Every structure is written in structure tokens, then in C-alpha cells.
Amino acid sequence: MCANHTPSTLRELPPPRALEGFRRRVFKEGERLYRDLPWRRVRDPYAVLVSEVMLQQTQVSRVDGRWQRWMERFPEPAVLADATSAEVLSEWQGLGYNRRALALHAAARELARLERFPREEAELLALPGVGKATAAGVRAFAFDLPGVYLETNVRTVFLHEFFPEAERVGDRALVPLVEATCPPEGAPEGRGPRSWYFALLDLGAELKRVLPNPSRRSATARRQSPFEGSRRQKRAELVRRLLEAREAGLGGLTLEDAALALARFEEAHGRSAPPPGLAEELLAELAREGFCRERDGLYRA
């Protein structure tokens, strides 16, 4: 696939003929590698937004099934907006990064207030938790509108094609290429931004499978700290306990309940007891972020 336009860096755009050849190759490979994922069968912008948020830092295999269940329970922004935070977090359990669920909940409330789904980038970026990649994904996959959709699989293709040997390639170098190759609004069916980015995503996934992952040469690449034993894992465990207490009809968790639950969790995983005060610190943190609330010494989801 790689055309090796330059040895390691790209100081100016390749000529139009080279870019058009790249576009043809990507579309051809995209047809061969196409993944018929359930969220690709819809153009509802809310459904696309849910898929984009779920897929952030999460494998496709984990989202398939959970996206369908979410859409059955919260089929439109108004339904999600009317749900409680506890209901939203309960449905999100197992997807990781619980903050994404609360951001999606807040975005649904704003969408319900607007009574329409925005198409323009600036309006999408104004929604809670929506960044440039998510906004570009909604524009491309729901409205077939052009934009710079840069996520790990897309980066993989551009790094492999245009920067075959370079290290620490920044998005600043990739954005002009992505802009120049994305088809314009009104392109023929099957050759517009929606199909283009599907092709890039699927080709990028294949390149990561058969090659040393080119996306690791991106300046944005970060080696994620281990989840096991981390502060994030302890927070997630407390959220799970808060949701369990709610579903069981209990008033909530006391600090003593939370500290004991955390200690047992660590013991069950072969780790030493958490330091004194950690449960209180984590609960206060979760309360500030909207995961729970405290009243009369009880923490409730």
C-alpha cells in the first residue's frame, strides 16, 4: 500500500495526481476490508454520537452489543436526558472511562434543549465531551460532510503511507493531508466523506494487525498506564458499589462501607490494604465530578 513519497518527513503536499492515487487505493482496500458494524447502518446523528463516544479508547468488540442495548434503552436524546446519572452509569458499566457516560448524558440534555441536532463543527464542539475528532465523526457518518477525522486507525494509514520511517509525527503534519484527501460535500454516493473514513478506519485496523503498529510513531501516542491496581480501577470499583447499593434499595454507602469494600477488593486481588483516607478522598472526587452525592453521611449514586 505504501507509496513512500518521502523518506521520513513531508514538507509540502504531494501533487494532486499522487493524492488521487492514494484516495483510489484507500477506497479499493476499504471495499475489500469493510466491516459491517451495526452503527454503520444508521445515519441518525445521535446514534452516531453514541457510537463515537463508546469507541473512544475502547475496542470495537466491546462496543458491539453494548451500543445496541444503549440505543434500545435510550433511543433519542430526550430519553437519555430524562434518565438519572445512576441509570446512565449503570448502563455504561463495563465500557470503562465512566466520565464519558456523564459527558454523553450532559450532551443529551443540551440536545434536548436545542430540539435539533447540530451539523456545524462549532455547534458540535459546544456539546459537553465533544472534541474535534468526535465532531468530525458525526459530520462524516451522519451527514456525509467533510472534516478532519483523526483517530488512531486514520493516523495509522497516513503515517504508513506518507511517513514510513519518521518518529514522533505530530497531527500538525497530518491535518493538511487529511484535509486534502477527504472528498468534498456532494461527492458521489459511496465516494463521499462517510465512505472515505470507513475505508480509512478499516484499512488502519488491518495495517495494525499485519504490521508493527504505525500509530505508535505518532506524537499523540501515549502508553496507557496499567488499569490493574490503579487509582482508576479503585474509582471504578467504588462507582460499581454505589450502583449496587442503589439497585439494592439501600440508602447509600457510608465512608466505613466504602473503605471496607475497597479493602476487600484490594485483598481479593492480592494487594495490600489501601492507605487510610483513600476511600474518602475518592468519594469526594467522584462527588465533585457528578458520579454521586453525599447527604447525612451517605454517598448515593
Q: Using an 8 Å Cβ cutoff, are 59 and 68 in contact? A: no
Which amino acid, residue 207?
Answer: L
**Nine-digit cell string for 206:** 488491518
Using CA atoms, how far apart are residues 35 and 280, in angstroms rounded to an integer?
45
DSSP state of 169: B
> By C-alpha distance, which of 278, 288, 279 is closest to 253?
279
Which amino acid, residue 19?
Answer: L
Q: Using an 8 Å Cβ cutoff, are 67 and 51 in contact? A: yes
CA 288 vs CA 104, 241, 291: distances in Å = 17, 18, 8
Using CA atoms, how far apart are residues 47 and 44, in angstroms rounded to an integer?
5
Which amino acid, residue 252?
Answer: G
Q: Is residue 123 among the annotated active site residues?
A: no
Catalytic annotation, pick one of 29, 52, 161, 266: 52
264 contact partners, CB below 8 Å, separation of at least 6 = none
Catalytic residues: 52
